[in-house]
Structure 1
Amino acid sequence: MKLYADQPARFFLQLALDVVLVSWVIAWIWVGTVVNDGVETLAEPGVRISASATDLSDSLSDAGGVLDDVPVVGDGVATPFDKASEASAAMAEAGDSEARAAEKAAFWLGFTVALLPILYVGPRYVVGRVRWIREASAGQRLIDGPADLEVFALRAITHQPLSRLARVSDDPVGALRRGDDLVVAALARLELDAVGLTAPASPGVAGS
């Protein structure tokens, strides 16, 4: 698999852009984490209310249990404590619900803040990068295999701007049909340069 171009300038540009993309993703994940942590602070009052109400409910319940053991007057005296304990338990549940809601909001807000910029940039860059890797890898296999430079020369005729073809030859198609090694090598170099590959060492390329 061909991950980077052969030409130094293009190689360092691709490498730099890959690093920028990774840094971009890491930076927005960090921002999302900061947002999540910041919004999660809204859950702290609910947590404190829940903890305090739970403690109060337990204390009232214990007090009611003690009064229940008092002969004759126990049942009547314990009832207000039991009701107060139930009210405190309900308050604790409300605090828990508030805390859970705040934590859920914190997660989704942080997730969205991180995800949107990553999705905006990442797929656009990755699609182009993968397309280049596929083209360059296929081209490298042709260079390393039995195929000659005419494949790249023919591709150059169909892909390269006419102004570039005219600088190589006044009749690039005719030169390709005649098998003009110098023109074929020059045309192939145009296409290889565009893809980011280096032409194999051969008399035709060296002499062009």
Structure 2
Amino acid sequence: MKIYADRATVAAHQVVTDLIVVAWVYASIVAALWLHDLVRQLAVPGQKLEGAGTGMADSLGDVGRKVGRVPVVGDDLTTPFERAAGAARSMAGAGHDQQAVVNDLAMALAIGMLIVPLGLVLFVWLPLRVRWMRRAAAATRLRAARGGRELLALRALTHQPLRKLDRIDTDVVEAWRRGDDDTVRELAALELRGLGLRGS
């Protein structure tokens, strides 16, 4: 499998593009994590509310239990403390729910921020890169195989721009049909150069 082209300019372009893609993915992940942490800071009031509510509920429950020991009126005095402790527990539950909503929002925003850059890398850049690698590997094998040069020449006739073909020979097809060695070699080299590979 060929990863980079033989020709220095094409290989340099590929290396720079790969480095840009890696840097872009890294920067996208760092930005998504930063956004996630930033949004999660909105959960701090919920944490404080939950802590305060839990602490208040515990304190009121303790007071209610102590007041309940008072003879004769203890049961009557306990009821307001139990109600206040229940309200404090509700407040703690609201704080907990607010934290859960903020955490879900932080995760959704971070994932949403990563969808576009990672989608472009996975569904645009990576398929193009893998396609070039397969084509370059196949062309390299053909370059070394017997009869491969003729197949590369035929591919050049069908895929290369007409102006490039005309530079090789004004009647390039006829020269190819005759099996003119120079024409076949130049056509194969043209196809290989199109992939950034050395000529045959």
TM-score by length of 1: 0.90
Give the aligned partner of residue 94 of structure 2: 94
Where does the alignment leave 5 or more consecutive residues of structure 1 unmatched? 201-208
Instruction: Please state how far the C-alpha of 1:115 moved relative to its aligned partner.
Output: 2.2
Listed one character per residue, the Cα deviations across residues 105-138 of structure 1 (whole Å, up to 9, x for unaligned) are 1111122123223324552222211211111111
Listed one character per residue, the Cα deviations across residues 9-54 of structure 1 (whole Å, up to 9, x for unaligned) are 1011101101100111111111111111111111110110000100
Where does the alignment leave 5 or more consecutive residues of structure 2 unmatched? none
2:98 is equivalent to residue 73 of structure 1: no
What is the alpha-carbon distance in structure 2 between the residues aligned to residue 163 and residue 36 of structure 1?
A: 54
What is the alpha-carbon distance in structure 2 between the residues aligned to residue 99 and residue 49 of structure 1?
A: 10
Q: How does 1:58-137 map to 2 (within 5 A)?
A: 58-120=58-120, 122-137=122-137
2:80 is equivalent to residue 52 of structure 1: no
Contact 2:32–2:113 at 8 Å: present in 1 too? yes
Instruction: Out of 121-130 and 19-28, give the one that drifted further.
Output: 121-130
Contact 1:153–1:185 at 8 Å: present in 2 too? yes
Q: How does 1:1-208 map to 2 (within 5 A)?
A: 1-120=1-120, 122-200=122-200
What is the alpha-carbon distance in structure 1 between the residues aligned to residue 21 and residue 122 of structure 2?
A: 7
Listed one character per residue, the Cα deviations across residues 173-208 of structure 1 (whole Å, up to 9, x for unaligned) are 2211222111111111100000122234xxxxxxxx
Cα-Cα RMSD:
1.4
What is the alpha-carbon distance in structure 2 between the residues aligned to residue 31 and residue 148 of structure 1?
A: 49
Contact 1:24–1:118 at 8 Å: present in 2 too? no
Percent of aligned pairs with the same amino acid: 40
Instruction: Out of 44-53 and 132-141, give the one that drifted further.
Output: 132-141
Contact 1:57–1:85 at 8 Å: present in 2 too? yes
- State the one-letter code of the partner of 1:140: T
- State the one-letter code of the partner of 2:15: L
What is the alpha-carbon distance in structure 1 between the residues aligned to residue 4 and residue 117 of structure 2?
A: 26
TM-score by length of 2: 0.94
- State the one-letter code of the partner of 2:6: D
Total equivalences in the alignment = 200
Contact 1:67–1:78 at 8 Å: present in 2 too? yes
